[in-house]
Amino acid sequence: MWYIAKLIFQIKGEGMQKPQFDEHLRLIEAPAFEEAFLQARIFGINSEDSVMNQAHGSVCWEFVNVADIQPVKELKNGMELYSQVREVEEAASYINYIHHRAVRMRATATAY
């Protein structure tokens, strides 16, 4: 059976203003929920990383835990894998940000 697991990492670096967390979604194949959970934790632990950043020196991703696991009953084109409601201060700024991301993705895709 397939599962989608949400892994949470805390991003830590010297001089960072606000706490940051990185959410990863991983597709996991396992015979049961318990095995999927264990695999997700192993992926999280093995994905911890650190890099050197000019602004913050050493920046590291520390695995926090598995936040969610959902079974995927079937894989088919266009199916929803994940949904999150986000509250923002300014709708126009957020919409503009999304449009810019889409333009960058499309430009990157055409470069290949």
CA dist., res. 4 & res. 90, Å (int): 31
- pLDDT of the residue at 53: 76
Spatial separation of the C-alpha atoms in residues 28 and 2, rounded to whole Å: 6
CA distance 46 to 48: 6
pLDDT (0 to 100) of residue 112:
58
Instruction: Break the chain down into helix, strand, coil percent, rounded to 5.
Output: 30, 40, 30
Q: What is the mean pLDDT of each run of 10 residues along the chain (112 residues)?
A: 93 81 93 95 94 79 93 88 80 91 84 60
Question: Residue 39 and residue 1: Cα distance in Å, rounded?
Answer: 13
